[in-house]
Amino acid sequence: MLIDTTVAIRKELLKTARTIAMVGLSPKEQRPSNMVARYLIGEGFTVIPVNPGQTEILGRRCYASLLEIPDKIDIVNIFRRAEAVPPIVQGAIALGARAVWMQEGIRHEVAAAEARQAGLVVVMDRCIKGLIIRGSGEVLLFRAVVCKKI
């Protein structure tokens, strides 16, 4: 069954979220995940990199897995292929995250259903940079081409 969040739900999530764990964040500046992370940081979000091959990205400590993060996570933003999504969603559930956000081009219906069953908001196949709420409450809606490549 295909269920996606409405724009209103995504807006409300981003208005209240402060901490985003980015799974699959690349240290390479030209990669979409890195561009999106830099944008989110610039908008005032706390971005926590998750990449087992790195110790630091964008001057921030990088964790090998979600379960290593000691901080409260609002959104787990996924920059990994669909087949890698189920264990990431399970980690998000275990951490008590409020939402999982699969970037543009990423969908996994079974993992999404598991997340919803656990009470998480699920966004699939959408770039988080395409809908940002500034600290002032101003809503920015735009299509971010940078998010396309996975």
Q: How confident is the model at residue 12 (pLDDT cuts 50, 70, 90)?
A: confident
Q: Considering only the C-alpha atoms of the chain, give the largest distance between any 2 of them, rounded to a whole number of Å.
A: 40
User: Burial level of 6, CB count in 10 A (0-12/13-18/19+)?
Assistant: exposed
Q: Report pTM.
A: 0.88
Which range has the worst mean pLDDT, 19-23, 45-49, 124-128?
124-128
pLDDT at residue number 11: 82
For 23-58, write each residue's pLDDT tens digit.
999 999 999 999 999 999 998 899 999 999 999 999
**Domain residues of the chain, as ranges?**
7-147
Q: pLDDT band at residue 145, thresholds of 50, 70 and 90?
A: very low
Please give the CATH topology (third level) of the domain spanning 7-147: Rossmann fold (3.40.50)
